[in-house]
């Protein structure tokens, strides 16, 4: 079979103007995972996060209600809150404009003296806030479609692995920066064609042959389903989770479930610059999972992550050269990349 050059241009992986459009047309209009309910468990708790380049807050007010807010003061555009914590109010450090936990402007120094300031009209901008189990999402787009429409059948797929998301317990957050465009990092996640060569440990545990490694896609999500090899090695897989599931939710959320005990990790892949990506993963486990197994899984996952980091940074050095216009995609093994790139082109077309 002959493969033709395909996919979005390599220039899109280093062009600042493309990143500007992505921030506007993708991250400014999409649901973004920002954290979990354990971070805003008590009245007064404030979660600080990003939706692409957009600074956001999730707060729990005195009545226990959650709010999604733009973390930008309505006065001179300053960031209002720098660090998470528990607060009675949200006060901008620039001119002390003070907001309630619901985002309403409560006080602005000299407002009464100088007049003409309608406090009620200058609340922090509200953002759509969605929840799946303990997982919190925000969407900056006014009139955003419900989160459930984006999730589609993803919650059912996760449940089919034996994972009850409401019974998971947060363990820790791991973060990293990569010298690569965010799309390369997403696309690396979306195929296991590279696994036999680049991930020997993972490939000893999971059957990554094309006959056994399942690839599925919905409107907004892509899924990779991996069975444990007979006599697979590298991780103790005794437990209720029989198969691995590795999901991608548009535009940039990854979700991993390894075989073995109850486990799940998820987090966004976000652009910091045209050739710089930041990402984090929040790790959750069942409350009955032993610490020694958690340590074993984290070491296994860290090895896979370090291998992937080297791959995408190597690829970025190649695509920035500008000699080749396009890459090449295998129609079966890399079909999830093609799906991602189709969504990308659709979004950037406006």
> Whole-angstrom Cα distance, residue 231 to residue 211?
18
Question: Element (H or E) spanning 66, and its range?
Answer: strand 66-70
The two three-digit tokens of residue 19, written as one number? 């990143």
> Whole-angstrom Cα distance, residue 20 to residue 116?
35
> Tokens 């957050």 correspond to what residue?
173
pLDDT in tens, 117-174: 889 999 999 999 999 999 999 999 999 999 999 999 999 999 999 999 999 999 999 9
**Among candidate residues 110, 18, 126, 109, the one with its CA nearest the CA of residue 70:** 126
pLDDT value of residue 130: 98
Domain assignments of the chain as residue spans, ordered by start: 32-143, 153-348
Residue 267 has φ and ψ, to the nearest 5°, of: 175, 165
Q: What is the DSSP string of 67-120?
A: EEEE-B-TTT--BS--S-EE-SSEE-TTT--EE-TTS-EEE-TTHHHH----GG
> Whole-angstrom Cα distance, residue 47 to residue 86?
9
Same CATH topology for 32-143 and 153-348: the answer is no
Q: Report the CATH superfamily, name and number, of domain 32-143.
A: Rieske [2Fe-2S] iron-sulphur domain (2.102.10.10)
pLDDT value of residue 231: 79
Would the pTM count as exceeding 0.85?
A: yes
Indicate the DSSP class of residue 274: T
Instruction: Return the beta strands (E) in 274-312 as ranges.
Output: 276-286
pLDDT value of residue 44: 98
> Whole-angstrom Cα distance, residue 316 to residue 186?
13
| Average model confidence (pLDDT) across the chain | 95
> Whole-angstrom Cα distance, residue 222 to residue 188?
13
pLDDT in tens, 240-285: 999 999 999 999 999 999 999 999 999 999 999 999 999 999 999 9
pLDDT value of residue 3: 42
Indicate the DSSP class of residue 233: -
pLDDT in tens, 206-231: 999 999 999 999 999 999 999 999 87
pLDDT value of residue 97: 97
pLDDT value of residue 223: 98
Mean pLDDT to the nearest integer, 301-311: 97
Residue 324 has φ and ψ, to the nearest 5°, of: -95, 140
Contact 150, 128 (CB under 8 A): no
- Its CATH class, for the domain covering 153-348, is alpha beta
What residues form DSSP beta bridges with 292?
Answer: none
pLDDT value of residue 183: 98
pLDDT value of residue 233: 87
Q: Reply yes or no on whether the pLDDT at 57 is more than 90.
A: yes
């Amino acid at each position: 079979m002959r493969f033709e050059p395909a996919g979005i241009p390599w220039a899109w992986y280093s062009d600042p103007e493309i990143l500007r459009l992505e921030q506007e047309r993708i991250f400014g209009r999409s649901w973004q995972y920002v954290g979990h309910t354990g971070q805003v468990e008590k009245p007064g708790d404030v979660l600080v996060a990003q939706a692409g380049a957009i600074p956001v807050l999730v707060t729990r007010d005195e009545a226990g209600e959650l709010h999604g807010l733009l973390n930008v003061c309505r006065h001179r555009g300053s960031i209002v809150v720098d660090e998470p914590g528990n607060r009675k109010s949200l006060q901008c450090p620039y001119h002390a404009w003070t907001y309630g936990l619901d985002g309403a402007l409560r006080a602005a120094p000299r407002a009464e003296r100088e007049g003409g300031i309608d406090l009620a009209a200058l609340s922090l901008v509200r953002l759509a806030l969605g929840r799946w189990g303990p997982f919190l999402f925000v969407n900056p787009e006014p009139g955003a479609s419900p989160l459930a429409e984006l999730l589609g059948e993803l919650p059912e797929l996760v449940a089919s692995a034996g994972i009850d998301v409401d019974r998971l317990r947060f363990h820790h957050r791991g973060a990293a920066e990569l010298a690569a465009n965010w799309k390369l990092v997403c696309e690396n996640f979306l195929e296991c064609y590279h696994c036999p060569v680049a991930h020997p440990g993972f490939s000893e545990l999971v059957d990554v042959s094309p006959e056994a490694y399942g690839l599925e896609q919905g409107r907004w999500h892509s899924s990779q389903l991996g069975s444990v090899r007979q006599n697979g090695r590298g991780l103790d897989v005794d437990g209720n989770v029989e198969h691995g599931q590795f999901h991608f939710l548009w535009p940039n959320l990854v979700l991993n479930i390894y075989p073995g005990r109850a486990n799940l990790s998820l987090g966004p892949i976000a652009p910091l610059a045209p050739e710089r990506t930041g990402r984090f993963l929040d790790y959750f486990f069942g409350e009955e999972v032993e610490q020694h197994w958690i340590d074993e899984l984290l070491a296994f996952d860290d090895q896979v992550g370090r291998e992937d980091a080297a791959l995408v940074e190597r690829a970025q050095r190649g695509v920035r050269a500008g000699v080749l216009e396009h890459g090449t995609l295998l129609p079966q093994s890399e079909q999830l990349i093609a799906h991602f790139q189709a969504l990308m082109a659709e979004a950037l077309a406006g």
